[in-house]
Structure formats: C-alpha cells, structure tokens
Structure 1
C-alpha cells in the first residue's frame, strides 16, 4: 500500500503530466455547480481567479439551484428539496443556455460536493457525454458519505454509497472496470484525510463511533485523474487556491500565471437576495435554505470605517428587491469596506460585513437571518461565517471578538460558523481567519437586528 507521501507525490506527477485539453486561446465556458444547501456565490473567488488569469467573465457561469438541499429519501417527495432527477434536469437546462449564449460546442463542468452528483448523473444519463469536455469534482462523495445501513439515515439517500443512485453511477463502463471514461476528461480532487464527509467514523453525520463503510479515498473514481491535496477541508477541495490551480492545469495543460485574486478597476457588484423556507407556518420551528427570490426585501449599503465599522455617511446604495430577486448594479470604491443591510418581513434586520471587493462580481448573493428561539433573549447576536471552508483550530489561526478559537470551532475541519452574544452597548466586532480580517458592529437583538461577519477567503 502506498504511503500518504507517495500518494501525494504520484498525484503531483500525474497532474503535471496532463498536457491535453483546449488551448488558452479557446477559453471554454465553465459551468460551476454548487453543493448541498449552497448557491452560486460560493464560486466567487474561483471565478475571480479564472478572471485573473485572462478567462473572459462571460464564459464563467455559476448556477443557482432553486431548492439546493437533497431529499432525505431520493424516492420520496419532500417540500423544499430536490431529487437527483430534478437536479440533473436543472443542470442540463443551464448547460444548454450557456452553449446557446456562447456558441461553444462543449462546456467544462466544475462541481463541489452534491454538485458533482448532478454532473455525473448528467454525463452518464442526461446526454452530457456530448456537451461536456471536462468534469472536475471537488470533495464529491462519489462512493457515499456512508456505504452501509446506518439508521435513521435512509438507504435511499443520494449520499448512501450502497443506495441505488450511487451504485448506478459507479457501475463499470468498460472492461477495465473504470467508473468514468471518455470522451469526457475526468478529475477528482480530495483531501488527504480532512474532508468531514469522507471519514470512516460517522462523527460528522451524527453517527459517532460507527463505521461508515467509506474511507478518505472515497471521492476518487477509477478512470479519473485523482488529485490529493493535503490538509484541505471538504469545501476547500473546490474553493481554495490549490484547488483552482489543479482545475486550471487540468483544463489548459499549464499552470496558472497566479493563484491570487488580482485587483481590477472599480468593482461593480450585483447578485440575488433570497430567503429561507419554513418547515411549518411558525418561524421558530426551523427553516431550510433555498435560492428563491425574496421580493419586497430592502437592501441598503453603507461605506464604513475600516477600524471601527462605523458608517461613513448615508446609504451608498438603496434598493427594494423585485420579483426576480436581483440587486445592483452598485459601483463600489476599491479598498472600501461596506455594510450590507437586509430587511424583510419575518426576518431579522441583517447587517452583513465583508472584506473589500478586489474585482467586480455578479454573484454577491445574500440572505437575511432568522433568529432561533434559543437566542431571542440575548442582548445581541453575531455570526462569523466562512462559506468557502471550515474552521480547524489544529490548522488555522482565527479569532472572533478576541476569542481564539472562536466559540463552536472544534478540532477537525467540520464547522463553518461561530455565534456569539455580545453584551453592552453596540461596539466594534472583529473576525480574523488566516490573515483575513472583517470588521463590523454589534446591534441590539431586542430591536430585531443581527450581525454577520462573512469571510471571503
């Protein structure tokens, strides 16, 4: 059996030897497919990195699946959830739109986690073998998050490696026993052991101490170029600089000029405002994520002081969201920090603070918060959120309001948000993670306000 070092070395050699694929002059369209519960904005930094290496903005398309959560049982309808068949149909329609808009013959598909399930299903069962040149799968549970019966988890879940959906996708396609084959070129990207959904123990799926039947290598596919990137977590297998570098090289056959996000001009921002579906008519009963428009919501944007989070004058932008959920465009000032304020009936007034925007983006998607019943008596509520990765005190340098590690962060990369309840008068709050620093303010929860400090990197 190969050692971890050998696996990493072989992955690096295989990756470097990939010299096939379209030339940089062709710039094939890339369609980005988000994971379970996510939306198009998750690909913002990846899009910026492709742009920083010359990829035309109009050839980078990130989809928004209206109901991004998978069904518990893929064979049974469930409100606010999509089946594997519905997911595939949506992706197929999006690919056809991109082909029509660009005039290209084929697209590159790049998916994270559940997004890879839809990509594989489309290529195998939906005609994608004729419209896709490259498929790049980051952190995709190709052999399941669990592969043995683990009640109450359903054997019919699309994430069950022993279930009908994944068994069908993993059927050999040739005499060599490959699980994927041409004409599509395939790449998988996995962690060397830090992916919460590729673990032999069921800790992260509520089955602590139970054997899941999968291994850290379960995202690999026979017949694909299987890349191992050390220390990355489940989301970073798609959204980190290293994952970008692997994808760029796989598509073009050469290294990118840079893995950094290169600032460019005066950023123009836009995106979508979406809401949360209710599991019942009572807002306290729980919510589920969706990517449906939230018409009637109000968005205000304020420039803020970089050190204190205090507003510097009145709104720089104000807008009531229409039926399509779109907001913007807003011409932001380079290097300026902003406070995004969302208000809508049934939601807390949500104050979102982020790092400055180095480039334009059309996927600055936002969603207001609902306050859980357990938090409603707190003086204030603040959330530190890292959409494109997780917190790991064994790996990362981080602090939230001076607390290090942030409350809720546990060893092992499995938590992406931290919540605190600051006391006293409204004051400055700081979130720090591996060199990124987000500055904001606390707001009184009694008046229905919540603070979100959202990390970009």
Structure 2
C-alpha cells in the first residue's frame, strides 16, 4: 500500500504540474547550481545523461557540476586506513571543498545536491555535520542505503553501509519531536525502486550471503521527514540516472514538470574528459583490480569515426592526444549522428577499444578507463565486454543481445545487479561484434587478445 501511495502521489503531482509545461526554462539567475555526487566505485561520467536532460530543459550548463572523488570506494572499516579507499570523513571533506568552489564560481548562496548511492551518505554527512545546512537548499538521494545494505548487530558494523553501525545510526538519529531523520531547513527527496534495488533487499544475495536476512527492506532508502518517491522496477543506479528519476528530481527542485522528456540534440558537439586507471588490491594483486579516479599520465587516446552497422573505421583518426599529468583530453568536435571508437593505450593496460553510440550533445565528462586482461582470461583468443554504466542488466525486464546471445554471460535470470557481461571468444578473426539493450545498439570489432587488446561496447543509456 505504501508503494502504491507513493507512486500514485508522484503521478498525480506530475499531472498537476503538466499545465506548467509551457513555462519558461529557468534563467541563469533563477537556476540554482546543482552538484552531482556519484556512488561507490563510480565516477562523474555516470551523470552524463542526467546533465543532458537538465540542459535540454533549459538549465545552464555552467550551473551543473559533477564532482569526482579520487578514491570512490568505501573502506571495509571506516575507522581504519585502507589503500585506495576513502573514509566518510574524507568523502565529506571533499564534497564540502567542491561545494565551496561552486559557490565561489557562481556567486550563489546555496546549491542543490544530487547524490547516487554512497554519494548520498556524503551529502547527509555534510549537511548534518559539515556546515551544509547553510549552503544547501535541496538534497536529492537516489538509491542511498540510508538504513544500511545490512542491519545485522555485530556484523561488519565498522562499515559505513551497516545500518546498525555508528555512521548511519548517527545520521538517522531523530532530529525533532516528530522523529525526522533529515536535517532542516534543507528540503529532502529520496528516490527508490519498489523491489529491484540490489542494495535494498531483505535477502543477502547481493552481499554474498544468499538466504541470510539483511534486516533491510525495500524501503531502506526512505527517510522520515523527506519526500519519498517509489519508481517501479528501476534498479540501483537507475534511482539516479533514469529518465523517471530525472523527472522527479527536476519537479522537486522547480515545482513544475519537465518541459521535455527526451534529450535535445545540439548542432555543435564538443567532447572531453579524463583517462583514469585501476588500482591493484595489495591483498589480491592477481585479480583484485579496483576502480579509482586518478588520471593516467601519458596515456594515448585515438578517436575514429565508425560505421554504425559494422564497427569499421571510416577513415583516418579524427583525434589523437597523449594526455598530461591531469589525464585530460579534448575538446574533440564530434559529428552529429556518428558513432565513435575510442582507442586507449597506456602502460600496464591492454589496448582498449571502446565503442560508443553517437553523442547527441556536448560533454566534458566523457571519462575513459582502459582494461587489464585478468589472469583467468589469458587463454582467450579475444575478449569483448558489454557494459552499462548507468544501470544494470535485468533479464526479466530488458531486451538484450550480445553477439547473438540473449542470455548475457554472468547476468542472473532474475534481479538487476550486474552491469557488464564478458565474452571469451574462441577466435580472434576480425569481425563485427554487436550488442543491444532496449533499443540502443552498439557494433564494434574483435581484436586479438594475444596482442593485449580488448573490445568494450559501452552503452550510453
């Protein structure tokens, strides 16, 4: 009944706001700066389509900021230092510094904060304990495990995702006589799935404990005192990066419905970003690679226009760059309607061929990360990876195909918790390899693993 009430409330609200659909888009002075905070192990690049949707509804590009935490993974125990990972205190301090930069750059008095998953932990920590109550007008949390990924007394309570640990119990302590869990006068919105968020599950399947109760419900991301919206069947990442999540966030900030639901193409498209790497887990160096957002100085990027039907390069390189210490590349002027291959070469990594759909708009957060070939894959003739950064694959919900297969390797028959699939191909013969997801189709080429080359088909939507 709670789920139905929340959903009906959202639909009714959007219907009432529909009469404002012809209202003018916010001006530079009216549109508050929005700071987007990515999740655990992720990067600023995941906000790509969300930024495009805000821009398509008139939000000035210079008022949209997607920050990037250098070490995005949480510590196993928040109180103990761990190489390549960040504590809640470090995460909050980074966010605080970034907000202060945005306020100085824009002259605004307050910002809106929009966080996905772990990003919401930093937002709550900053507002409650770091002075953000004065600098934040609205806080939007997509899929944040506000009551933990697990809430088991005595089990990993030092971890920031423990619902019975000191970090979350401190954030969730009642703030007033009503028992509100949010800090005022900031306005709060939570966005969650009805039952398809891998980190809001009563069973411990997605934390490696199938059959063990987590003591967390599907409503775990909700907060007392916030506006809590439920969107059916979305997965953990889609709580922030889906069109429905954008529409709810836009309406919450502006008080009116979106002017357009689709991404509006631009006539001139300029792309840029950062090439970042992977750390090596000192406890498991053979297979324990993990994400960081540190630049790879000296990495070489070559961009080719491709035939969308075959993945073949259609001419000479359209752009080449050896990046400096900051890892940054661009600007590259892309052609509307053209699919591209991004070839990355960097010491210690396989030459990675990333195939992307045509870009409809400009972006400075087209961040790229080369792959390593794991020891278990050294016997492959060729490797191809199909990845969806802004969501997961759901065999019951999505229409998918990878090199002719409808059952993606590693994707379970039920539930949304896997965002990439990998094929170990028996032949390295040059040919097209295709992948499809709910209407978005990617085509790349097969490259020999013996030459330390990997194919990546990366979805945009």
- Could you say which TM-score interval applies, normalised by the shorter chain? over 0.9
Map 1:40-59; keep pairs closer than 5 Å.
40-59=44-63
TM-score, structure 1 normalization: 0.96
Residue 85 of structure 1 aligns with which residue?
Answer: 89
Q: Is the 8 A contact 2:149 2:161 kept in 1?
A: yes
Residue 280 of structure 1 aligns with which residue?
Answer: 282
- Name which of structure 1's ranges 388-397 and 283-292 shifts more when overlaid on structure 2: 283-292
C-alpha distance in 2 between matches for 1:134 and 1:317: 40
Q: Is the 8 A contact 2:305 2:340 kept in 1?
A: yes
Number of equivalences: 452
Residue 103 of structure 2 aligns with which residue?
Answer: 99
Residue 412 of structure 1 aligns with which residue?
Answer: 415
1:151-205 Cα distance to aligned partner (Å, 9 max, x none):
5xx2110000000000000011111100014211000000011100000000000
Residue 328 of structure 1 aligns with which residue?
Answer: 330
- Secondary structure of 1:284's partner? coil
Map 1:136-285; keep pairs closer than 5 Å.
136-149=140-153, 151=155, 154-280=156-282, 284-285=286-287
C-alpha distance in 1 between matches for 2:186 and 2:450: 55
Residue 351 of structure 1 aligns with which residue?
Answer: 353
C-alpha distance in 1 between matches for 2:154 and 2:459: 35
- Secondary structure of 1:250's partner? helix
C-alpha distance in 2 between matches for 1:257 and 1:14: 15
RMSD of aligned alpha carbons: 1.7
- Mark the runs of 5 or more structure 2 residues left unpaired by the alignment: 19-24
Cα pair distance change 1:328/1:300, threshold 3 Å? same
1:124-165 Cα distance to aligned partner (Å, 9 max, x none):
0000000000000000000000001475xx211000000000
Per the TM alignment, residue 382 of structure 1 is displaced from its structure 2 partner at its CA by: 0.4
Per the TM alignment, residue 11 of structure 1 is displaced from its structure 2 partner at its CA by: 4.2
C-alpha distance in 1 between matches for 2:310 and 2:374: 28
Q: Is the 8 A contact 1:339 1:353 kept in 2?
A: yes
Per the TM alignment, residue 283 of structure 1 is displaced from its structure 2 partner at its CA by: 5.6
C-alpha distance in 2 between matches for 1:13 and 1:78: 47
Residue 22 of structure 2 aligns with which residue?
Answer: none
C-alpha distance in 2 between matches for 1:103 and 1:46: 24
> Is 2:122 aligned against 1:118?
yes
Match of 2:425 among 418, 422, 425: 422
Residue 306 of structure 1 aligns with which residue?
Answer: 308
C-alpha distance in 2 between matches for 1:262 and 1:63: 24
Residue 77 of structure 2 aligns with which residue?
Answer: 73
- Name which of structure 1's ranges 271-280 and 190-199 shifts more when overlaid on structure 2: 271-280
Cα pair distance change 1:150/1:385, threshold 3 Å? farther
Per the TM alignment, residue 448 of structure 1 is displaced from its structure 2 partner at its CA by: 0.3
Q: Is the 8 A contact 1:302 1:317 kept in 2?
A: yes
C-alpha distance in 2 between matches for 1:218 and 1:273: 35
Per the TM alignment, residue 415 of structure 1 is displaced from its structure 2 partner at its CA by: 0.7
Q: Is the 8 A contact 2:301 2:321 kept in 1?
A: yes
C-alpha distance in 2 between matches for 1:238 and 1:230: 13
> Is 2:31 aligned against 1:27?
yes
C-alpha distance in 1 between matches for 2:61 and 2:435: 30
Per the TM alignment, residue 325 of structure 1 is displaced from its structure 2 partner at its CA by: 1.0
Per the TM alignment, residue 14 of structure 1 is displaced from its structure 2 partner at its CA by: 5.9
1:358-386 Cα distance to aligned partner (Å, 9 max, x none):
00000000010011100011000000000
C-alpha distance in 2 between matches for 1:276 and 1:423: 27
C-alpha distance in 2 between matches for 1:104 and 1:186: 20
> Is 2:132 aligned against 1:128?
yes
1:380-438 Cα distance to aligned partner (Å, 9 max, x none):
00000000000011000000001002111111011110000223312101110000001
Q: Is the 8 A contact 1:283 1:346 kept in 2?
A: no
